[in-house]
Structure 1
C-alpha cells in the first residue's frame, strides 16, 4: 500500500501503509526500511535532514480513528509527535461546514438522513514541507493543518463541501425512491494530498466524500489554496479517485486516479490521460521531468505493489512493495 512517494534529489522514499514502513528505494529495486512499525502510515515528506510521516490508528470494530498525527524526525534523530487527533477534538475545524441535504421531506431524510455539521474525526493522511513548517492534509478533519517543528498544530484551511445532484438516472440505477431525484447532497471534501507549487500556492487533491465509484460521476478534484489566507478555489474536477498529486517542472499537475486506473495530467486547465496504471495511488516528480508512480497491491489476480518511473513516455518498474 504505497500511499505516498517523496523524491529528494537522488532519494526516493515510500510510505507503505501495508507494512507500516517508510522505506528508501535502492538502485536494484529493493526498498530499505528507514522507519518501521508505523501504524497507518500514509504520507511522507522531507526538508533537508528533517523527515515527517503521518500515522493513524483505526479501530476496525467501529471503523473509527482513535489516534492520528504527524511524526517529525529531527536531524538529531529524535522524533516529535504532533497529535492532530487531539487538535481535532479540541477545535473541529470543519464544524463550520454543513453536509447532507437541505430537505425536510420525510422520504428524502429516510434515505439520505438529516443535514449535519463537520464531526470530530482526524486522519492525518499526507504531508508537505512549506516555509519551514509542515502542511498536513487531514482526510478526516476535511482540513489542511499547519504543524511547526515543535509539534504545534493549527488550522490553515477548511475545504468546502462537495455538492452533487442525485439525478433520476442515479435513482433508477441505485434503486432509490423517486423522492430523492433532483436532490443535491453536500458531501465531505476529504483532502488526500497537498503539494507546494512554484507560485507559492498549495495544491490539494480531494475525494468526493461519497461513493468513490462512478455512481455519481467522477467527482475527485484539485484545489488551489492560498497558504497565507486559507482561501481555496477548485482548479479541476472529474477525477475518479484523486488520491495524490505531483507538480511538474513546467507547472503541470499529475493526479493519480485510483479507481480510474490511471494517472492524469492537468495542463493549462485541461485534463488529459498521462499513463494507464491500474492501482495508481501516489505520484511524485523528480529530476529531468521524471514522474514516479506507485501502484497498490492486488489480491485477485495476485500482484505486488510497484514503484515505476516514467520518462520520455517510457514506463520502467523500479521496485516492488510486498508484505
Structure 2
C-alpha cells in the first residue's frame, strides 16, 4: 500500500501561487505561527540546517530553498516521484520513484531509490527497488484476515504476505550514512554514502478491528466477520533521529487502517531492529521530527501537528493538511501543508521568537 501516490496526484494538479511571508495566529499555547511561503504543491519533506530551510516538493519534482521574501529557489529539479530529503553538512540525500502512471495509486512502481549527492557535486544512486526485488523485506509479514477460524479465511485474497514493492518516502542522516523509510517495503533501510543497502527494521502488521464501517471498506464482508481483525500494512512515512541516536518512525497504515486513525509512532532498536510502539491514534501521520524530549507528528487528516512527550500526545499547531515537519537546532518547528481545493501548500514556522532564514543558495 503506497498511500502517498494519491497525495502526489492531488498536489500536482494544484496551480502554484506566490506570496510574501504573513503572520498567522497561534493554534494554541505560546508559539507563534508564521506562513513563509504558499507556492507549494506536495511538500513531502523539509530539511532544516541552521537557518537554511529546504523543501522537497513532490508535486513539481523540485528541491528548493526557502528565501527570506517567501520565494523558493530551486536547488534540484526534475526529480520523478520526489519524496524524502535530508542533509549532512555538504551532503544531501533524497528519494525518487518512477511508476507506470504517477496519477494512479496502484500503478506498478518501476524504480525507487535514494539519490546521494556528494560535496563534490556527484550523485550516487542506491537502488532500493532492486534491493527489494532480491530481499522482499516484509515477505514474512502476513496481512489481511489471518485467523484461520474466520468465516472469510477461505475467501480469495483474504490473506497475503508482503509483496515486492519499494517506495523511498522519508530520509534521515544517521551515523555517517542514511536511513530511508520505505513505504512500499514496509521497512527502514540503512544506506551508506557509497550506496550500499541493508535492512535495519521491518515494521509489524497493524491490527484493525472489523467494524461495519471497515467491512464496508473491504467490499461488504458478511456479518460473521464483524469483530475479527484485519492486519494492514504498516507503511512507514517518516524517520527521525533523537537524543543518543534513537530512531523514531511514523506510520500511516495501508488500507483500511489509513481510514481508522491507526497512525502510530515507533521507536526502533538499532541493534535488533525491533519496533516498539510509543503512541497511536494519529489521523494519517505523514512525517515525524524530534527536538529534545519532544516528538512532533504531522497529521494529514488530523488537526495539524501533534507533539508526543513521554506517553502524552497533545495538539501543537492547527495546520489542516499538515504533510511534513522538521525541527531546527534552536527549537523552531517547521511544517509544510498539502495543496488542496482550499489553496496551495505552505511552509510555516512555529516558534516563540523571531525566525530568520538563509537566502544564500549552495547548489
Alignment of 1:293-304 (within 5 A): 293-298=335-340, 300-301=341-342, 303-304=343-344
Task: Measure, in 2, the Cα distance between the counterparts of 1:191 and 1:242.
Answer: 9
Task: Measure, in 1, the Cα distance between the counterparts of 2:293 and 2:72.
Answer: 30
Deviation at 1:31, TM superposition (A): 0.6
Q: Which residue number corresponds to residue 44 of structure 2?
A: 3
Alignment of 1:17-32 (within 5 A): 17-32=58-73
Q: Which residue number corresponds to residue 201 of structure 2?
A: 157
Q: Which residue number corresponds to residue 72 of structure 1?
A: 116
Task: Measure, in 2, the Cα distance between the counterparts of 1:139 and 1:304.
Answer: 25
Superposed CA RMSD in Å reads 2.3
Greater displacement, 98-107 / 122-131: 98-107
Task: Measure, in 2, the Cα distance between the counterparts of 1:222 and 1:24.
Answer: 28
Deviation at 1:261, TM superposition (A): 4.0
Alignment of 1:276-315 (within 5 A): 276-298=318-340, 300-301=341-342, 303-312=343-352
Matched, 1:52 2:93: yes
Task: Measure, in 1, the Cα distance between the counterparts of 2:279 and 2:264.
Answer: 6
Q: Which residue number corresponds to residue 247 of structure 2?
A: 202
SS at match of 1:136: strand
Task: Measure, in 2, the Cα distance between the counterparts of 1:151 and 1:41.
Answer: 18
Q: 1:124 to 1:294 in 2, by over 3 A?
A: same
Matched, 1:247 2:290: yes
1:125-147: CA deviations, max 9, x gaps? 11101000110100000001111
Q: 1:200 to 1:297 in 2, by over 3 A?
A: same
Deviation at 1:288, TM superposition (A): 3.0
Deviation at 1:167, TM superposition (A): 2.7
Matched, 1:270 2:312: yes
- Contact 1:101/1:112, CA 8 A, preserved across alignment: no
Task: Measure, in 1, the Cα distance between the counterparts of 2:232 and 2:264.
Answer: 13
Deviation at 1:106, TM superposition (A): 8.4
Matched, 1:122 2:166: yes
Size of the alignment, in residue pairs?
312
- Contact 2:146/2:153, CA 8 A, preserved across alignment: no
1:90-142: CA deviations, max 9, x gaps? 11111121111124578525778331111100001111010001101000000
TM-score by length of 2: 0.81
- Counterpart among 122, 133, 140 of residue 89 in structure 1: 133
Runs of 5+ unmatched residues, structure 2: 1-41, 357-363
- Contact 1:82/1:151, CA 8 A, preserved across alignment: yes
Task: Measure, in 2, the Cα distance between the counterparts of 1:35 and 1:289.
Answer: 27
User: Structure 1 or 2: larger strand share?
Assistant: 1
- Contact 1:100/1:112, CA 8 A, preserved across alignment: no
Deviation at 1:314, TM superposition (A): 10
SS at match of 1:93: coil
SS at match of 2:152: helix
Greater displacement, 174-183 / 10-19: 174-183
1:227-268: CA deviations, max 9, x gaps? 2221210111010001001112x3111101101141111012
Task: Measure, in 1, the Cα distance between the counterparts of 2:144 and 2:249.
Answer: 23
1:72-101: CA deviations, max 9, x gaps? 000000000000000000111111211111
Alignment of 1:223-242 (within 5 A): 223-242=266-285
Structure number with the bigger relative contact order (C-alpha 8 A, sep ≥ 6) is: 2
Task: Measure, in 1, the Cα distance between the counterparts of 2:159 and 2:221.
Answer: 19
- Contact 2:214/2:256, CA 8 A, preserved across alignment: no
- Counterpart among 229, 236, 241 of residue 184 in structure 1: 229
